[in-house]
Amino acid sequence: MLINFNEIPERRFPGMNNGTGEISARMFMDKQGKIIPCRIHKGGSIGLHCHETSDDINYVISGDGKAICDGAEETLSAGVCHICKKGSEHSIINTGDNDLVILTVVVER
Bridge pairing between strands 72-76 and 33-40: unpaired
Q: The pTM is what?
A: 0.93
Cα–Cα separations (whole angstroms), residue 66 to 34, 46, 72, 80, 104: 22, 11, 10, 11, 15
How does pLDDT run across 77-101, given as a tens digit for each residue? 999 999 999 999 999 999 999 999 9
Per-residue tens of pLDDT for the chain, all 109 residues = 999 999 999 999 999 999 999 999 999 999 999 999 999 999 999 999 999 999 999 999 999 999 999 999 999 999 999 999 999 999 999 999 999 999 999 999 8
Give the bridge partners for 12, in sequence order: 24
For the chain, which domains are there?
Answer: 12-108 (2.60.120.10)
CB 38 within 8 A of CB 24: yes
Query: What's the CA gap between 8 and 28, in Å, rounded?
Result: 8
pLDDT over 70 percentage in the chain: 100
